[in-house]
Amino acid sequence: MSAEATNPEAHPEARPELRRRGRSRLDLRRLGRAALLGPTSRDRLPDAIGHVAEAHRAHHPDADMSILRRAYLLAESSHRGQMRKSGEPYITHPLAVTLILAELGAETTTLTASLLHDTVEDTDVTLDQVRAEFGDEVRFIVDGVTKVEKIDYGAAAEPETFRKMLVATGNDVRVMSIKLADRLHNMRTLGVMRPEKQARIAKVTRDVLIPLAERLGVQALKTELEDLVFAILHPEEYESTRALIAAHAGESDPLPGIADSVRTVLREAGIAAEVQVRPRHFVSVHRISRTRGELRGSDFGRILILVGENADCYAVLGELHTCFTPVVSEFKDFIASPKFNLYQSLHTAVATPEGYVAEVIVRTRQMHRVAEAGVVALGNPYATATPEATADPDEERVDPTRPGWLSRLLDWQQSAPDPDTFWTVLRAELAQDREITVFRADGGTLGLPAGASCIDAAYAQHGEAAHGCIGARVNGRLTSLSSPLSDGDTVQLLLAQDTSSGPAAEWLDHARTPAARIAISSWLDAHPDRAMATTTAARAPLSVVGARGGGANAVADLPDATVRLAGCCTPVPPDAVAGFLVRGGAVTVHRVQCAAVAQMRAVGRTSVAVHWRATADCRVTLLAESFGRPHLLADLTEAIAREGVEVVSATVEPPVEGRVRHTYTLQLPDAAGLPALMRAMRDVPGVYDVSRA
């Protein structure tokens, strides 16, 4: 592996944020020498963390640097004599990791834990010592990042380490922030490793760490990790992309000119804004080259506009779409509907008179900070509102930054004791690169991966109680449990009163989340007899036939003609009807609204006038749709009997996804009582619709 492929300094366009800040890159060898010499004075910070202090003060001017000094002294003395494979003193690694986090704006507790993150794992320092010197929070974070012992876990050590970190991240997202920065520095210096080990580490980074960085919103780390992994796993494509970027650097770039035009437009509109040209990183250039083919000059970067307030974002958007030609299909509003990883911005694209299309991102400066640093930019999300308020250390802290995906990981990892299963399912879950938010009927929200179904929503909301789910309403309309959900849907999940009911085997075909699949599989494994019953062939419909039939109440103006009421629309008095002569000299009667009426007329069937007899009784066929439950047929039959209606025949179809369809042919003593009968049937628990056949 070449040094250029593993060192971002070789291609600064992959790290534009460092170039914009103008801060020099940390010189690891110089800091290593300073680390060995130690501080020159006991009353000031060691020279070795001067860069860290400078970066930290830029975000937190009032931070207490004495804590960092004590953490550095403990880390330096503990790691003294240890060397990295690159030949540098080991202390340069925690220093570099801490600088990465300091540049992103991490608060003092995170930086303290970062300096100490390898001490418990690689030195004689214990967690009790860390707690005594720096408190419970630092101790918790250091423990969360510390790997499990390979002696105890063997080949399962890596999956179990990630499981441990995920559980710790559930209580403190700063654990994963340190792990991401740790992996970034290791990837930067991966060139000293054997090629096969480089590939192994890069694959884990691609499959697990990069998706976690995306979900935590730490784009500054994610983009550099992507480029470093790209260089290792796809060296030929990386080199061709690098050559493409180098060739573009020698050409005229239209984006600075477009940015100047945007500045002029906004200045004339009286909108205070900062306009930048942001080069794309390597992987981004590679992706768009595959989708767009030959790239033009404006494809190698995007225009970033930073403003002060949310309202200014929309004011900028209005000016852009007024003074330039907007590309409507490229507009996305992530301010009104933020992404699941805290990201907020307006995205659009505008076309210039010269034919260039420039992508534009509009956001406030606070949005920009969160877009770059994600959860790191939130400081300490666990700080109490008042100094007197203290949380119970034994209770799980409510993290306001915890999105739905992290809660899902924490839930299903408890049901996946096998490390191989956990590792496989973790990668599959993180491969879901899109998230949707659906609203619960009680006003709460559920975060689900794109493509999730009502089954996934049921297990996300109700856990194992979702075994008894028998249906769902999406946006007020009844739908099957297998129906996929879309972002912004409102879902109401309906549970059976019978707690012994369980999921059907076919639910696995529609479950997308690990929590749902693991819960369904566990229930089916525990109830093999019930699982077998759900997969058997459909049973024949149950039919109940009444004691007597009934004649039609319709009379045709055709002597001796047999009159039949059409089964497609089942007309009853006082419906408006139409009759048609069919084979055998019979007259079939339809409601005038029936689609068959137009068909009869189209094929030239002879129309026959029909009317209802003076008698008020009639026969009608009704369809009742319901969720399956015990005694449903008896309750429906009782409701019908209470209305004084006779059941001529009844057919009950086999349940499908927990839903049952009943077809009743009924003899009514008075047609006027039909609406009341249908209402009575709808009032039966479990019945959600009753209609004419």
Q: Which residues are catalytic?
A: 121-122
Give the DSSP letter of residue 484: B
Q: What is the largest CA-CA distance in the chain?
A: 120
Question: How far is it, in rounded angstroms, from Cα 182 to Cα 101?
Answer: 10
Token readout for 30 is 């110089």
Q: Which of 603, 609, 520 is nearest to 563 (CA)?
A: 609
Q: Are strands 469-474 and 477-479 parallel, antiparallel or unpaired?
A: antiparallel
Query: Given the structure tokens 């930290």, which residue do they identify?
Result: 56
Q: Rounded to an integer, what is the distance from CA 102 to the centroid of its chain?
A: 29
What are the φ/ψ torsions at residue 308 (nearest 5 degrees)?
-90, -40
Amino acid at 487: D
Edge-first strand listing for the sheet containing 587-591: 563-565, 587-591, 577-581, 607-608
Token readout for 465 is 């109680």
- Helices 514-526 and 419-430: crossing angle, nearest 10°? 140
Listed as own residue / partner, the contacts of 79-86 with beta carbons closer than 8 Å and 24 or more positions apart are 79/118, 79/119, 79/122, 79/123, 80/36, 82/122, 82/123, 84/189, 85/192, 85/193, 86/189, 86/192
- Cβ–Cβ under 8 Å, residues 684 and 632: yes
Question: How far is it, in rounded angstroms, from Cα 254 to Cα 319?
Answer: 20
416 in helix, strand or coil? coil
Q: C-alpha angle 554/560/564, rounded to 5°?
A: 35
Token readout for 651 is 């057919």
DSSP letters along 81-144, please?
T-B-TTSSBTTHHHHHHHHHHHHHT--HHHHHHHHTTTHHHHSS--HHHHHHHH-HHHHHHHHH
Exposed e or buried b per residue across 155-190, where buried means at least 16 C-beta atoms within 10 angstroms of its C-beta: ebbbbbbbbbbbebbbbbbbbbbbbbbbbbbbbbbb
Give the DSSP letter of residue 205: I
Amino acid at 407: S
The kind and range of the H/E element at 578 are strand 577-581
Task: List alpha helices for 475-594, DSSP H.
Answer: 514-526, 528-535
